[in-house]
Each structure stands twice: as structure tokens, then as C-alpha cells.
Amino acid sequence: MSSSTNERVNPRSAEALREHDEVSESAPSGGMKASGGIAGWLDDRTGGAGFVAFLLKKVFPDHWTFMLGEIAMYSLIICLLTGVFLTFWFVPSAGQVVYDGSYLPLQGITVSEAYRSTVDISFDVRGGLLIRQIHHWAALLFIVAITVHMLRVFFTGAFRKPREINWVIGTILSMLALIEGFAGYSLPDDLLSGAGLRAAEGFMQSIPIVGSYIAYIAFGGPFPGETIIPVLFSVHILLLPAILVGLFTAHIVLVFVHKHTQYPGPGRTNMNVVGYPFMPVYIAKAGGFFFLVFGVVALIAALVTINPIWAYGPYDPSPITAGSQPDWYMGFADGALRLLPGFLEFDALGRTWSFNVFLGAIALIPVLFTIQGVYPFLEKWITGDNREHHLLDRPRNAPVRTGLGVMAVSFYLILFIAAGNDIIAIKLHLSINDITNILRLSIFVVPPLAFWITKRICLSLQRHDRDTVLHGRESGTIIRTAEGRFFEKHEPLDGYERWPLVQQEVPEPLVLGSQTDANGVAAKHARSERIRARLSHFYFKDRVAPVTPPELAAAHAHGEHEAITPPPETSISVEGPPETQGLASPTSEREVVKRAPEKDL
């Protein structure tokens, strides 16, 4: 008998009987058992297991623009962490002391305790200057990120139902961020921040009737007073951070409740979210992105000096500081202050009314942010659209909204440029009066012009999308026919490319019904309906309808000037990929264009 026969395993042996047994997982370690026991104990008393499971399974879409909100959140966290460090050494007092620290040019000079403690943090506390600069740069990045994030939300229509509350929260956050930033850079009591506080005191006094009382109470007497720095310190480290953190928490909770918006594409509807689960994919990406943001801010802070208060010196009302500028985010208010004409200050009823200061420095900020906050409700009233929207708009598909956004941005930029009219005049050797008058004219001419140009560009892009769907993509290949004619070959779009170009809805202007009842009496709300109809006409009178299936079939059948090569029978349709299965049947011709196989067209 051969050796192979001798080595054959007995089918009734123990080894043969265990051959197909399933290998059980190893028993959990003691640490895992302890963690599971603690988790079970907490769940028995809080019932939080369901919420945690919901949280970990939450799906987030993947797009680079969604990181703008994350940058704002991470910048706020950096500000909170570095702010805690700074509070250990900062002294919020306007009391006068003689500086005797390590910075030689200031030794022997009488300064405030706030200024001395800030200089000490910069030169005598290990790592203090780096932390100060990280704090300042993170604050600037926070305002930049939240501003750009809100622009993204506006231009894509992410503020629509059910996210109106989140838009209002974001509006309040962005306004409070400005106030928080102003309070923060006013604390060191250096020459620059002191000039800003002096200007703020004048702004307060411009408030009609009660302005002088508000300024006196805020500063604890005539300027400079001794209470403004402790008050700003309390507001900066306690009141506003608590409100900001609370609003940010509410904002994030509502994002989880409403589910995240997503850009249109195959398989993406108002009923689902295509993306990655919170755990483990998204949380790993978010954690890594936080450290990336922190690292970039720390690198900028280490290499680029900002707010060198030791070079400015302590605040002294006597030096002329015409070249001083506020932080960039307050520039638009400063620019409005410079553009308002002097005749808005006048005497009447025994009082001086300084509307040339009040309108730009005090009223402008709440008015602009109020308009921003109510816009979703205004658009909803005009369109009459009460549906939930979880798919984002392409800005070109909402030309009036996009035009209004660009108009607002141009208005802001003109005010921002006006804040540096004196610097522009000095550097370019121009008349400051001419610059101011040109900017005054521009504030009325440029925003409407920007609106019109943007709207026309959006409509042109829509027509280009329509032509691309109908006639395909230009290939650059020139074909000559037997008759000697020439035309360019166009390549068809597949379902994935075609979907975003035809999925949009284009509302029609509202048609105004009868304005009277059967008895000839004017209908209730007739006037508001007329206004609504006019606004609807303004929004939707210029329309570019999406491609319909007959139009697409006719374009495919055309074989000359608009020649397009018919797609092969095996081409992938929007209906084919697994992620698009299970969608509802098309309910309109536009849905057929989006989802029907091209061979059926």
C-alpha cells in the first residue's frame, strides 16, 4: 500500500468530524467586557443607545463645499481653546501702571494693566505670542468661513424648507461673530484698539435721544473711562461665547434632524442621502480635517505677525491715527460711515441729529442682517413653494436669486473699498473727494448692473446646458460628407452627465386671479396678491425650459448640422447603476429625460 493511502484521514476520526466546524470568535477581553458593562449601565438609566445608534449611522454626502461649515466650527473650537489659555494671564483693567517688563522700548512708560498684561503674554509667557496669534488668526478664519459658508447656502438654495430656522441661526451667528471680534481686538488697549473704542463711543452718541446716556453708561463716565475694558472682557469670554456655542449646537442638531442637503445627481432625491456614514468614515475624515485646519492656522500664526501691539504703543488720545483701519470684517460699516454725506447731520427740535454717523455705524449692521434673515420667508411667499427641499440648486438654475446674491456682494465690496479711501488716495496720489464721490455713485449703479449681468450669464449657461443635452459635447472632429459638406461630430452625454443638466424645476410666474368676489367686492388680500404676482413675474419671467424627451429624440435623429452619434445599445443609462434602483416612476417628461435609457429615446 502506498504512503498516500496510509496517510489518508479516517472519515470517522475526530479531525475529520471537526473539519467543517465554524470557528467561534475569541472571547472579549476584560476591557471590552468592562466597557460593555458601563455602556449597558448608562443605557439602562438614560436610554441613549438608540440615539447613539442613529448618530453613528447618519449619512453625510461628500462635497468640498460642505467643508466650509466645518472650517467655521473648527475655527471656533480653536478660538475657545486658545482663549482659555489667554485668560490665565490677561488683566481686564484700565488701571494705570508703569511698564517694567522685558520689552525695553516700553520700559518706564505708563500703560494700562490690560496693555501690560498683553505685552507680558507676548514676551514673558512661554508660547504666549504664538497662542495670541493663533487666537487672532482663528477668529479671522472663523468669520471668513462662516461668511463663505452662508454664501454657499444662499446660492444653492439650502435655506429652503425645512432649514429656514437654521438660516436664521446662521445669520445671528455671523452678526454676533462681528461683535465678538470687535470686543476681542479692543481688549489690549493699545493705540489701534483705543482708537476703535474712541470711534465706538462716538457711534453710541449718534443714537437719537438716548445715545449720550448709552455711551456714558458703557464707559462709566466720559471717555475713556475705566469700565469699558472689564465690560468687554465679560462679554468677550462669557456672554457671547455662550451664545455662540449654544447657537452652534442648535445648528448642528438641526442638521442631523433635517438630514444633510446634497447636490443633484443619479440616485439622489429629496427622500434619501447618498454619502458616507458618520461612523467610521465621516468621523475619521472630520477628525483629520480638524487637525489640518489647526495646523494651517498655527503655521500662519508662526510665520505672519498680526496685531503687534508693542509697535503701536499704549492708547493715547493725542497721536493722530488717520491711517488706522479696523479688522477687515468691520470694513463695510466703516466704508458706509465715510460715504454718507455730511448734510445728514442737522439741528432740529433743540437737538443735533447725526444720521450721517448713526445710519452707517449703528443701523446698517442690524438692517442688513435682518434682510438676510428674512429672505427665505420672502422667497417662499413669492414662489408659494411649501415643499421640503433636500436637493441643492445649481446657481445658474436660479438666476434671479444668484443675481440678488451677487448684487449684495458688490454692495458689500464697494463699502469695503470705501473704508480705505484715504489709503487709496495716498498711495495712488488721487483726490480723496473724487474717490469718495465715485464710490457714492457706484453704490447706486454697480449693484443693479451686477444683478443684470449675473442674471444674463446664468440664463446663457442654462441655454448652453440645454444645447449640450440636445446636441452632445463638441468633439473637435470635423466630418466631410459625400456631397462635400462639413460638420463637427458631437459626442452624446451618458446618463450620469445628463442628469444634473435636466433635473431642475423652472417655475412659471403666478397668474393673478379675480380680484373681486361675486358681489364685486374687492377680495381679501387682493393688494398683497398683486404684489406677490409682480414679484413672481420678476423672478420667473425669464425661463429656459429643460429638455423634454421629444426634443432629445429629435436631436438624436438629426444628422447634419447638429449631428450627434447615436449611443450604442449597451450604453449605461441613469436607470442602470445599482445606486439608482428603486426610484419612483417618472412623473413628468423631464423625469423621463433624466432616467430613461437612451435607447428608448
pLDDT at 521: 67
For 180-211, how does the pLDDT look when each residue is reduced to its tens digit (9 = 90+)?
Answer: 999 998 999 998 888 888 888 889 989 998 88
**pLDDT average, residue stretch 289-298:** 95
- Split at pLDDT 50, 70, 90, the class of 24 is low
Q: What angle do CA 405, 409, 411 make, to 5 degrees?
A: 115
CA distances from 270 to 49, 161, 392, 501 (A): 28, 12, 10, 17
- Split at pLDDT 50, 70, 90, the class of 84 is very high
CA distances from 18 to 11, 22, 264, 414 (A): 10, 9, 54, 82
Domain 67-314+329-393 matching CATH 1.20.810.10: the answer reads: yes
Specify the range with the lowest mean pLDDT, choosing from 215-224, 412-421, 447-456.
215-224
CA distances from 391 to 263, 278, 319 (A): 6, 20, 56
Query: HEC string of 108-129?
Result: CCEEEHHHHHHHHHHHCCCCHH
For 378-437, how does the pLDDT look when each residue is reduced to its tens digit (9 = 90+)?
Answer: 999 998 888 899 999 999 999 999 999 999 999 999 999 999 898 999 999 999 999 999
Residue 450, φ and ψ in degrees, nearest 5: -65, -40
Cα–Cα distance measured from residue 566 to residue 555, given in angstroms and rounded to the nearest whole number: 10
Residue 571 has pLDDT above 80, yes or no: no
**pLDDT average, residue stretch 104-131:** 93
pLDDT at 22: 63
Of the two residues 302 and 385, the one the predictor is more confident about is 302
pLDDT at 581: 35
Of the two residues 375 and 47, the one the predictor is more confident about is 375
Per the CB < 8 A criterion, the answer to whether 274 and 268 are in contact is yes
Could you tell me the residue ranges of all domains in the chain? 67-314+329-393, 394-470, 472-506+543-601, 508-540
Residue 59, φ and ψ in degrees, nearest 5: -100, 135
Cα–Cα distance measured from residue 405 to residue 51, given in angstroms and rounded to the nearest whole number: 38
Quote the pTM value: 0.83
Cα–Cα distance measured from residue 504 to residue 397, given in angstroms and rounded to the nearest whole number: 7
For 436-446, how does the pLDDT look when each residue is reduced to its tens digit (9 = 90+)?
Answer: 999 999 999 99
Which residue spans within 443-584 are E strands per DSSP?
473-480, 486-491
Which residue spans within 464-515 are E strands per DSSP?
473-480, 486-491
| Distance between first and last Cα of the chain | 73
The single-letter code of the amino acid at 173 is L
Nearest residue to 382 (alpha-carbon basis) of 530, 516, 513, 526 = 530
**pLDDT average, residue stretch 315-323:** 73
Q: Average pLDDT, whole number, for the chain?
A: 83
Question: Where is 386: in which H helix or E strand?
Answer: none
Per the CB < 8 A criterion, the answer to whether 260 and 169 are in contact is no
Radius of gyration of the chain (CA): 32
Task: List for the chain the helix, strand, coil content (%; round to 5).
Answer: 60, 5, 30
Rounded percentage of the chain residues whose pLDDT exceeds 70: 84
Residue 569 has pLDDT above 60, yes or no: no
